[in-house]
Structure 1
Amino acid sequence: MTTYRCKTLTVAGLVMHLCSPASAQDRPTEEILSEAQGVLHLTCNTLFETYGNNEDAMLDVIGLMVAVSLNNRGIDFTTLDLTPQEKDEIQAEFADQIGDICAEDADALMAGIVDHTVADLVTYY
């Protein structure tokens, strides 16, 4: 897996969840958490091994992890009044952090990486 590919996916996943109402956010919390149970075990490597030929599915998984992380913190980013510049900064930082962590340890749990990154960004923004 390349850092570039991971960055591209995470930017798209974050755009999907921060800049517009995502389908995961329109569903009941119980449904989101239930669906997430099936993907929380994925590492950077296994995410790409499982969904590598289906970028939309990978984005859905990353987006689901973002939605769960935000839900666990009681945060709805769609209600924040972020400027386009702030959204760009968040997207770039999210992609950088996830790409860097996956490049360092491709066997790290993706849900943990996403959650850690969301926590860092929530603290900053």
Structure 2
Amino acid sequence: MLVVDDDDVIRQLIEVNLTLEGFEVATAVDGQDCLDKVETVRPDVITLDVMMPRLDGWVTATRLRDQDATRHIKVVLITARAQEYDKRRGMGIGVDAYLTKPFDPAELIQVVRDLAGAPRD
């Protein structure tokens, strides 16, 4: 599990909730940090903020989907961008789930559980 968010509080909130549910969690502070860590962490699921410095979530998700080595990783976008256009954009990239901030931690945990247990097509 890799949690990617530039906001320390949000990143820690997600990390703590997932750790309490038994997930092994690594963190990254932005999209570039995510791409740098993904090969060593080898996550099954990545939670990914959209609006981040250096490399945003849109570009990061696209790069993850474009590479054979990371194409299989489940991606959950977690963002304040709640417009239908944004959701369609995320699904067009191929993300597996889209949650808007503020999010319900129980919903996030359920989404991650579902994705971690289901093979990607």
User: TM-score, structure 1 length as denominator?
Assistant: 0.32
Write 1 or 2 for the structure with the bigger share of helix. 1
Larger RCO (CA within 8 A; separation ≥ 6): 1
User: TM-score, structure 2 length as denominator?
Assistant: 0.33
Write 1 or 2 for the structure with the bigger share of strand. 2
In terms of Rg, which structure is larger? 1
